[in-house]
Amino acid sequence: MTNPVVECREIETGIVQVTLQDREQKNTFTEGLVRGLIEAFEEIAANERCKAVILTGYGNYFCSGGTMEGLLAIHEGRGRFTDANVFALALECKVPVIAAMQGHAIGGGFVVGLFADFVILSRESVYTTSFMRFGFTPGMGATYIVPKKLGFSLGEEMLMSANNYRGADLEKRGVPFPVVPREDVMNRALQLARQLAEKPRVSLITLKDHLVRPIREELPRVIEQEMAMHEKTFHKPEVKDRIISLFGN
């Protein structure tokens, strides 16, 4: 696949790595990044050799969530977060996906990683569900997947407070994911991918389908509820002011 900001390549037999590498925009959901992500998972779906996917970023950034332009478009009623349905790509992927979140994961960028089957965090990086910092309620399935993956108490705290948490902080809070030094994240992901690639592809697909079916079935209802909350919260003048101010800083 040829896309300047998303690289998709088979790094070993049966293992595909998707790398988000928009250095100019720090892996925010630009049109190019969104299109590249969708194309990457379409390519994976057509690859009958693929048994495991590693989703990662570059340097200090995994994925930084929405752009100012994208958020303002939603505020003004010119778009919805469902227009670019990238948040559930890992969930809908037939084979297991490992989110190697070696760098900062912000807002929807963190949510994208949590929809993977396996999550690996970096001790140095910042993880945040920053939606409420802008004054609007969370979307992209965050209200479901964050408490489900992190536990209700910590998930509620992250969603409500919109605070920043280092991977080391989350490790102390007992998150059920490996939290390792940034330099070790990819090695850990590759070890896991190799273990998965040893298994028969049909068995991996069948087991994943069974395990994540409740999430796939529940998610559309959650998205409807989040959209309804956005109608109440996203179009307030204060939200526009917060978006402009926070991106300006």
Q: Is 235 a catalytic residue?
A: no
Of 75, 104, 230, 235, the catalytic one is 230
Residue 87, C-beta contacts closer than 8 angstroms, at least 6 positions apart? 81, 108, 111, 112, 115, 140, 141
3-state secondary structure the chain: CCCCCEEEEEEECCEEEEEECCCCCCCECCHHHHHHHHHHHHHHHHCCCCCEEEEECECCEEECECCHHHHHHHHCCCCCHHHCCCCCHHHHCCCCEEEEECCEEECHHHHHHHCCCEEEEECCCEEECHHHHHCCCCCCCHHHHHHHHHCHHHHHHHHHHCCCEEHHHHHHCCCCCCEECHHHHHHHHHHHHHHHHCCCHHHHHHHHHHHHHHHHHHHHHHHHHHHHHHHHHCCCHHHHHHHHHHHHC
Contact 112, 106 (CB under 8 A): no
Catalytic residue positions, numbered: 230
